[in-house]
């Protein structure tokens, strides 16, 4: 059987695609890659469709033995990596053969790296997606993170080219990011001074950051009267502010409904940047318009379409 | 109550929130559900999914397929049509619940808080029907209301680390069912043997927002025999 075997598990590796849509009405989170941009570039490296499932590697990578002949590529946070002892570059694809050993180390910038394998990771789809939802213990490989000893079947696509991601698609992961936002559904619940704090001061990523969301600390954002609302739907990249005034960015595994005021939403093209921030990193928010947010989505879509024509 | 103007608000660049009210009421939730049903019927390309809540509907869309402007116009049109509250019929679903002390860990605490005997609390709980206002918190968890004022009780001051799957609880004027074992602070007064969340099956979620729930008391032996069929 074609597949791969994990010799070492690393810090946290899960299988993710672009997420599980259509079930939020039942309270099912979407999940999917925290940095969906890098998942797509990783897939391009190995000739996969953009939305294919990859291994999302967090902080420190696994060691993998290949029991198949295929092509692999790493994108997202650059990390130490070698194939049979030879150094691998990020954003570049390589051929692998039976018995080859991929060793990955600690990320050098950013947080999350994506390993794409030409072909399919052969696990069942759960509600239309291969994404792992850890809290619900479903999707991915038996609903859990990858552990040493796991053997996972791979169906190689037959793709055998090696590629480098064009320069204009590469990312540099800084420890400080400016994220563009558009005002949220409860922006009118905040004092003007609270909104000013939010837009002009610096926020720090607190240790409470995971696939569900990032809690930030910084200048408190003040409400007019209260922080609680009747629970309503929330979306990826929305920024909630509970009573203590410290913002929380909702991310891939966020719950579907919440009862805190939402001050703003991060524009779609900037959400992947959040998943590359770690404890202590800095964030500034900058307001933009809905129109610009939509233009950015279209521009990025066009870029990816062109990339896939290469 | 003053007239509330329904608001249509962008929630980021890929979602629109339609907010009907800032209060919880059955008639508002009915509006949310009829609006959702009407929206689903037109099957507009570009709408990915919707999330109904107590008094609002979140509509997730793909801006590459449908523009905000067009979606906004469609929503307005459907809202106008939904005004008369022509109700789509709700499903009524019977959920068997075993209130035996084996499962009803907090019945004594609720009894102390309400001054009612456990038997009275149980009877009051299964004697009404409840509306599912929304699902959330964990996959498939139904928020149902409103419960009789006499059995209203606060959440536990210290939430449990692990509430068993199927547990039926009270919190404020609401009642709910834990679809999977999870942490939680609701007062547990019974357990259902029905699997309301079944990721492996074709019918993954037994319940949906807008359903009417009728609880039916069962014995431990009935609990066990139903468990086997799940």
**B139/A293 touch (CB, cutoff 8 Å), yes or no:** no
Do A162 and A193 lie in one domain? The reply is: no
Do A104 and A14 lie in one domain? The reply is: yes
Read off the pLDDT of residues A211-226 as tens digits, 9 standing for 90 and up. 999 999 999 999 998 8
Please state, in angstroms and rounded to a whole number, the distance separating the CA atoms of residues A103 and A275: 23
Round the average pLDDT of chain A to a whole number and report it. Answer: 96
Query: With contacts defined as CB-CB under 8 Å, which chain B residues touch A267?
Result: 12-13
Please state, in angstroms and rounded to a whole number, the distance separating the CA atoms of residues B71 and B73: 5
pLDDT at A229: 87
Q: Which CATH number characterizes residue A229's domain?
A: 2.40.100.10
Read off the pLDDT of residues B13-55 as tens digits, 9 standing for 90 and up. 999 999 999 888 889 999 999 999 999 999 999 999 999 999 9
Do A231 and A116 lie in one domain? The reply is: no
**CATH classification (class only), B92-229:** mainly beta
Last-in-domain residue among A122, A145, A169 = A169
Start-end of H helices in chain A = 36-45, 192-200, 271-274, 290-309
Do A138 and A51 lie in one domain? The reply is: yes
Last-in-domain residue among A153, A169, A185 = A169
Please state, in angstroms and rounded to a whole number, the distance separating the CA atoms of residues B42 and A267: 28
**A10's tokens:** 């690393």
Do A183 and A250 lie in one domain? The reply is: yes
- Cis bond upstream, residue B152 (ω within 30): no
Do A187 and A149 lie in one domain? The reply is: no
Last-in-domain residue among A169, A202, A234 = A169
Do A154 and A182 lie in one domain? The reply is: no
pLDDT at B230: 87
**B54/A256 touch (CB, cutoff 8 Å), yes or no:** no
Query: With contacts defined as CB-CB under 8 Å, which chain B residues touch A184?
Result: 11-12
User: What ipTM was reported for this prediction?
Assistant: 0.96
Which among A24, A230, A298 is the nearest to B64, CB-wise?
Answer: A298
Do A140 and A227 lie in one domain? The reply is: no
- Give yes or no for a contact between A117 and A95, defined as CB atoms under 8 angstroms apart: no
Please state, in angstroms and rounded to a whole number, the distance separating the CA atoms of residues A249 and A266: 9
pLDDT at B159: 85
> Is residue B2's pLDDT more than 70?
no
Query: Which of B96, B8, B196, B210 is closest to A28 using CA atoms?
Result: B196
Read off the pLDDT of residues A1-51 as tens digits, 9 standing for 90 and up. 899 999 999 999 999 999 999 999 999 999 999 999 999 999 999 999 999
Residue B137 forms contact with A (CB below 8 Å)? yes
- Between B183 and A147, the higher pLDDT residue: A147
Query: With contacts defined as CB-CB under 8 Å, which chain A residues touch B139?
Result: 23, 26-29, 136
Read off the pLDDT of residues A290-306 as tens digits, 9 standing for 90 and up. 999 999 999 999 999 99
Residue B4 forms contact with A (CB below 8 Å)? no
Within chain B, which residue ranges are assigned CATH 3.30.1360.40? 7-82
pLDDT at B1: 43
Read off the pLDDT of residues B149-187 as tens digits, 9 standing for 90 and up. 999 998 888 889 899 999 999 999 999 999 999 888 999
**B11/A230 touch (CB, cutoff 8 Å), yes or no:** no
**B17/A136 touch (CB, cutoff 8 Å), yes or no:** no
Q: A152-156, B92-96, B135-139, B186-190 — which is least confidently predicted?
A: B135-139
E strands present in chain B = 7-10, 15-19, 47-52, 56-61, 92-98, 129-135, 142-145, 160-163, 167-171, 174-177, 182-184, 187-191, 212-218
Q: What is the pTM (predicted TM-score) of this model?
A: 0.93
- Give yes or no for a contact between A107 and A78, defined as CB atoms under 8 angstroms apart: yes
Read off the pLDDT of residues B72-131 as tens digits, 9 standing for 90 and up. 999 999 998 876 555 567 899 999 999 999 999 999 999 999 999 999 999 999 999 999
CATH of B7-82, picked from 3.30.1360.40, 3.40.50.10860, 3.40.605.10, 3.40.50.10470, is 3.30.1360.40
Do A241 and A136 lie in one domain? The reply is: no
> Is residue A148's pLDDT more than 60?
yes
Query: Which of B229, B208, B207 is closest to B218 using CA atoms?
Result: B229
> Is residue B3's pLDDT more than 80?
no
Distance from CA of A105 to the nearest CA of B (A): 34
Residues 116-135 of B with CB under 8 A from A: 134-135
Strand pairing partners for A283? A177, A203
pLDDT at B199: 84
- At residue A181's C-alpha, the angle toward residues A179 and A182, to 5°, is 170
pLDDT at B201: 83
pLDDT at B203: 87
Q: A169-173, A279-283, B93-97, B214-218 — which is least confidently predicted?
A: A169-173
Cβ contacts of residue A63 below 8 Å, gap of 6+? A6, A7, A8, A10, A101, A102, A103, A104
Within chain B, which residue ranges are assigned CATH 2.40.100.10? 92-229
Please state, in angstroms and rounded to a whole number, the distance separating the CA atoms of residues A24 and B72: 21
Parent domain of A63: 3-169
Residue that the structure tokens 């999302």 belong to: A56
**B13/A126 touch (CB, cutoff 8 Å), yes or no:** no
Average pLDDT over residues A94-121: 98
> Is residue A189's pLDDT more than 90?
yes
Percentage of chain A modeled with pLDDT above 70: 100
Do A18 and A63 lie in one domain? The reply is: yes
Do A13 and A161 lie in one domain? The reply is: yes
Do A192 and A256 lie in one domain? The reply is: yes
Average pLDDT over residues B206-224: 96
Q: What is the number of other CB atoms lying within 10 angstroms of the CB of residue A80? A: 14
> Is residue A72's pLDDT more than 50?
yes
- Give yes or no for a contact between B76 and B31, defined as CB atoms under 8 angstroms apart: no
Query: With contacts defined as CB-CB under 8 Å, which chain A residues touch B173?
Result: none
Residue B208 forms contact with A (CB below 8 Å)? yes
């Amino acid at each position: 059987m074609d597949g791969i075997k994990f010799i070492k598990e690393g810090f946290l590796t899960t299988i993710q695609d672009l997420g599980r849509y259509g079930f939020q009405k039942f309270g099912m989170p979407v999940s999917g890659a925290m940095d969906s941009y890098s998942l797509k570039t990783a897939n391009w490296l190995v000739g996969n469709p953009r939305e294919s499932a990859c291994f999302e590697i967090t902080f420190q990578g696994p060691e993998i033995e290949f029991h198949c002949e295929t092509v692999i590529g790493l994108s997202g946070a650059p990390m130490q990596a070698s194939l049979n002892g030879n150094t691998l570059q990020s954003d570049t694809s390589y051929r692998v053969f039976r018995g080859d050993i991929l060793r990955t180390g600690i990320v050098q910038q950013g947080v999350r790296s994506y390993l794409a394998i030409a072909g399919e990771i052969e696990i069942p789809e759960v509600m239309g997606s291969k994404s792992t939802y850890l809290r619900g213990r479903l999707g991915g490989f038996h609903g859990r993170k990858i552990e040493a000893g796991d053997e996972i079947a791979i169906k190689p696509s037959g793709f055998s080219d090696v590629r480098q991601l064009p320069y204009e698609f590469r990312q540099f992961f800084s420890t400080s990011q400016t994220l563009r936002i558009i005002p949220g559904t409860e922006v009118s619940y905040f004092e003007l001074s609270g909104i000013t704090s939010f837009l002009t001061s610096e926020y720090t990523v607190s240790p409470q950051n995971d696939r569900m969301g990032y809690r930030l600390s910084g200048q408190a954002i003040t409400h007019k009267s209260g922080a609680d609302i009747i629970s309503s739907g929330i979306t990826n990249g929305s920024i909630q502010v509970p009573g203590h005034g410290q913002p929380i960015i909702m991310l891939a595994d966020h719950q579907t409904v919440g009862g805190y005021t939402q001050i703003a939403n991060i524009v779609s093209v900037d959400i992947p940047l959040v998943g590359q921030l770690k404890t202590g990193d800095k964030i500034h928010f900058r307001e933009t318009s809905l129109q610009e947010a939509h233009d950015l989505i279209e521009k990025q879509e066009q870029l990816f379409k062109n990339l896939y024509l290469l | 109550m003053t007239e509330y103007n329904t608001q249509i608000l962008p929630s980021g660049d890929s979602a629109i929130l339609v907010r009907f009210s800032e209060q919880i009421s059955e008639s508002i939730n009915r509006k949310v559900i009829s609006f959702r049903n009407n929206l689903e019927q037109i099957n507009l390309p570009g709408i990915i999914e919707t999330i109904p809540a107590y008094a609002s509907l979140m509509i997730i869309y793909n801006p590459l397929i449908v523009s905000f402007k067009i979606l906004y116009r469609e929503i307005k049109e459907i809202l106008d049509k939904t005004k008369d509250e022509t109700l789509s019929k709700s499903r009524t679903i019977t959920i068997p619940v075993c209130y035996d002390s084996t499962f009803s860990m907090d019945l004594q605490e609720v009894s102390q808080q309400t001054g009612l005997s456990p038997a009275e609390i149980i009877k009051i709980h299964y004697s009404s029907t409840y509306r599912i206002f929304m699902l959330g918190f964990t996959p498939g968890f139904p928020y149902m209301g409103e419960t009789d004022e006499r059995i209203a009780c606060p959440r536990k001051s210290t939430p449990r680390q692990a509430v068993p799957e199927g547990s039926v609880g009270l919190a404020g004027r609401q009642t709910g069912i834990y679809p999977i074992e999870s942490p939680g602070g609701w007062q547990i007064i019974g357990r259902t043997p029905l699997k309301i969340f079944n990721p492996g099956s074709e019918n993954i979620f037994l319940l949906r927002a807008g359903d009417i729930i009728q609880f039916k008391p069962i014995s431990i032996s009935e609990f066990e025999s139903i468990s086997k069929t799940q």
